[in-house]
A = this chain, B = another copy of it.
Amino acid sequence: MPTSENGSPPVYREIAEELRGQIRSGRYADGDRLPGENTLMEHHGVARATARQALSVLINEGLAVAVRGSGIYVRQFRPLRRHGARRLSKDLWGNGRAIWQTDSDTRGYEVEGLVVDEVVPAEHVLRSLGLDPGNPAVRRSRRYLVEGRPVQSAVSYLSPLLWAGREDSPAAQRIRAPDSGPGGIYARLAELGHAPAHFTEEIRVRMPTPEEAEELALSPGTPVLEVARTALTSDHRPVEFNEITMDGSAYVLQYDFDA
């Protein structure tokens, strides 16, 4: 194919373009089965590899998914809505509700594979927490499912310095326990005198690593959203760093703010 315009596009692109148009126009709806390799070979008089290449374009665009032994299907797409500001308002965790309960519409979240341990976090995590290199942190990892499907995995980091000298307090113990108690981690931080008052979230997009693709059961052509949240006290001390990796096709992020 030429670097820019001029001659006609390669055959496989034209086939892909034709199918793409038919998907967009509604000729093929969500979940419908697309013409397979054999059909495309006949109809367009091309070799198998060329038909495959056309289909791989759609798959890498996230428009279609291949099911082995069955066919190629139009991808379905019904995102969840995640609210930025509203969901972290003190009203919620101040009253014993966990954050993620406000996230999804009527569909409920399930938490899976919660692991709590202590590690020396990566450099960017330490920086966000205002810790020096080599310092340890409590790490809380888990995965969230909606309707049985994994949609995000989250890892939260907290510095043990926040409860130094009070290791045995109920709040400090809960932070290191799988069940963080009513209101979650933020309520415990408040009990320790480190109530979160400000948040900053950084959003990045990229294609998943193979590990992430497996953990979130992503089909090819699905990008991930990476949300890195830092929670700060009213005097702007960082008290938590949370790294969330989300199925990009599963979410719409919403932020509301004033001029």
Contacts and interface: CB of A to CB of B under 8 A. Distances in A.
A221 interface: yes
Chain multiplicity (copies): 2
A220 B61 CA distance: 10
Contact of A221 (B88, B196, B207, B259): B207
A45 interface: no
B3 A207 contact: no
Contacts of A199: 256-259
A203 B252 contact: yes
A203 B203 contact: yes
Interface string A194-232: 011111111111111110000000001101010000000
A176 to B, nearest CB: 23
Contact of A259 (B197, B206, B259): B197
Contacts of A203: 203, 225, 252-255
Interface string A241-258: 000000011011111111
Contacts of A210: 13, 17, 20
> Interface majority SS on A: helix, strand, loop or mixed?
mixed
A79 interface: yes
Given A203-B203, A206-B62, A207-B62, A198 B85 contact: no
A60 interface: yes
**Chain A contact patch, size range:** 35 or more
A89 interface: yes
Contacts of A251: 204-205
Given A206-B248, A207-B61, A220-B60, A257 B258 contact: no
A136 interface: no
Nearest to A4: B214
A255 to B, nearest CB: 5
A256 B198 contact: yes
Interface of A: 3, 13, 17, 20, 49, 60-62, 68, 79, 84-85, 88-90, 195-210, 220-221, 223, 225, 248-249, 251-259
Closest 5 CB pairs of A and B: A223-B223, A205-B248, A203-B253, A85-B257, A90-B259
Given A198-B257, A223-B248, 20 more contacts: A17-B210, A60-B220, A62-B206, A62-B207, A84-B257, A88-B257, A197-B259, A199-B256, A200-B254, A200-B256, A201-B254, A203-B252, A203-B253, A203-B254, A204-B251, A204-B252, A204-B253, A207-B221, A207-B223, A255-B257
